[in-house]
Chains A and B, each alone.
Chain A
Amino acid sequence: MRSRVNRRWLRLTAVVAEREIRQRGRSRAFAVSTIVLLLVVAAGVAIPAILASHAKPQRVGIVGGPVASTTEIVKEAGRLTGTGVTVVPEASLAQAEAALRSGQLDVVLVDGTEVVVKQVSIAGGSGSGGTLPSAIADVAGLSKLVGQLPAGAAANGVSLPVRGLTAPSASLSRRLTGLFTVVLVWILISAYGSQIAMGVGEEKSNRIVEVILASVRPLQLLVGKVTGIGVLALAQAALMVATFLGVGAAVGSSLVHGAAPGIVIIGAVFLVLGYAFYCTAFAAAGSLVSRQSDVGTVILPVQIPLILAYALSYTVIYSNGASTFYKVLGFLPPTAPVAMPVLYAAGDVPAWQAAISAVLVAVGTVWMARTAATIYGRSILQTGSRVRLRQVLARGGSRLGTRACLLVACGVRHRGE
């Protein structure tokens, strides 16, 4: 009996979800936004790769050693990697390092036995091919081993150590993949979150909820709506990732080389968790309005943690080592969906910490869903002026009172009229 009731519960919920998918999926707005996002992704991957193939010549300093043979090594490495090179003899290691720091030089080969760069990237450490410093390291290493053999005989061989002047960190391509993930999570959660809030606001303001809630419970309407919209969000995300990987592979972008499976998996996990955490909050915010035009105001507080984590993510992408503050954001459920993929991609947290953060977000999601469902259930049928959150929660007694305080802490409280 109970299972039959549950099946019906799910069936009606699925009917609600199906409507969301069909109505939105075939709307022009969905088609246009999908195409635009895919074009942006494709361009974002392809353009840097195409520009890189016309990269300006790299300036390689040489210090010590026989100038003729080291020049030969550098030129051969340039030929192997398809990079134009300009050889700059430097008087001393100190001068060469100074030039390296100031950006006048890109790589320095010291005595034909050591390769120095400004910063060693993790992905392109040594022997992995592709970048000029590692090619120089390869070729020079081989030359050192076999003496004056023609450098063109270089195949897989012994590489010299590559030394960085500053601490090693995640490669730029890895970071950019992280940035891509964060932009994806941020855009999808905000865009679909506001669609949820708009949809709820529409149903409430034109009173169709009265007709619908005469036959289904508020929770069914809520779950059906966020599930249906969530399916669309995930479909769009999957298309964007496929475009990213497909176009990246086609143009040989270094971004894709940096797209370690770990970043993609963690990005996907936090996208799903982030959506799950925020979808009900957006629905609850939407249920407070009495006119659809008020939706923008009530969802702003819900978006603040996302905006904060997103804006600060650039400081992590372009710096070496995240601040403690940002690491804390990586573990708070409202900010973790955006912050954690960045931290992981930048190599600032290991995978197990990302897993802990995911569990925290999941727990936070359960709490948020219950609180939001309560708010939604109480305010969706309250007409007249905009419903005040405190009013809605006050009716629930002390347990909800605590939740209300936490909600305020999460920034969900909407501003006074």
Chain B
Amino acid sequence: MSPRVLLHLGLRSLLLHKLRSTLSILGVVFGVAAVTAMSSVGEGARRESIAQIGALGIDTVTLRARPAAAGSAPGPGLSLRDAESVGRVVPDLRAIAPVRLATLGASAGSQQADAIVVGTTPAYRDASRIALASGRFVSDLDVSGGKRIAVLGAGIARALFPFGGAGGPVRVGDDWFHVVGVLEGRAVARGRPGPIRSLDVNRAIFVPLPALDRGGDARPEGVDEIVFRVADASRVTEAAAVARRVAERSSGGASFEVVVPREILRQQERTQRIFNVVTGAIATISLLVGGIGIMNIMLAGVAERTREVGVRRALGATRRDVASQFLVESSLLTVAGGVAGAALGVVGSLLIQRFAAWPTALSPLMLLIALVMALGVGVGFGFYPAWRAAHLEPMEALRHE
């Protein structure tokens, strides 16, 4: 029989029993829907962490004082001297920059915005992969002269100069700074805070380290973070450990944390793998259940249509023809279930994004896999009923009541 005729026969038979067909594929529908929605959550998390880590770079390390535990006095923190020691000790260092941070109001003309003000040195640009859209970054002369110049993150530039042409004086906190450069916008993960506390460079204003006035800071040498980048990404973990030891020794046992995006990436990958295994297990179980439902219905169909099978055999259908007819039916059923399930899963994924505020992402490949698996279930679980139908004895089938 030609595929067209087979398809026609199958469709007809399924449409004849609409309710039964619909009920029989519910298992497949919900199985595929659950898998689609879950994998969209996993994919969303994966893309988010990749975006975050991509922003930080896998060869950078951020060293900062651990927030003091409640009740105890704050530790001595990091200082410029620590930055120097780390720079001397860590092997294969590419760039290192001390960082002071403050959140201050910024204004230019009538425009106002809250900004993260970053006081740092020129090396920060390389250490943190900063790309300039226009102008220049903080220079050595700016630092040594304590000049009041500023480089604006893309978002802040847009907020303060909505009509473009960022330049001239801006007020940051209580001081005036002269804008010398604007950074390129950087994609940052939206939504809930990710596993990495990372600086949103779009909202940052970079100024020379000495120019960031920290008011009555008891420690004029103190810095909040030390950011460095190593030349060989595979040795970043080692470098981070060295840097932490250096800082801890110099501060007399205070504890510091290091943020190593590469490690976090690894951890994320492990979590992702577990998530994938769980998703896969659920997919397998639900498709198994769906498949058993299909097999049940197909077996009932074969029993009900025993006489029809006998008639078709008498009229010249080979065993293969009979088997194909039933296989096409079960495959059509599960593919329909797969399509409906994928659609439901897409809706589910959008609902999760909307109401749970989790980032979700649908990969076309995942949808394709879901459909192929549904087809596989149809063929796999339709096989036995089809085989049964094909091996009915024609004479007995004809006498079947």
Chain A bound to chain B = no
Q: Which of B's residues lie within 8 Å of A, judged by CB?
A: none
Residues of A within 8 A of B (CB): none
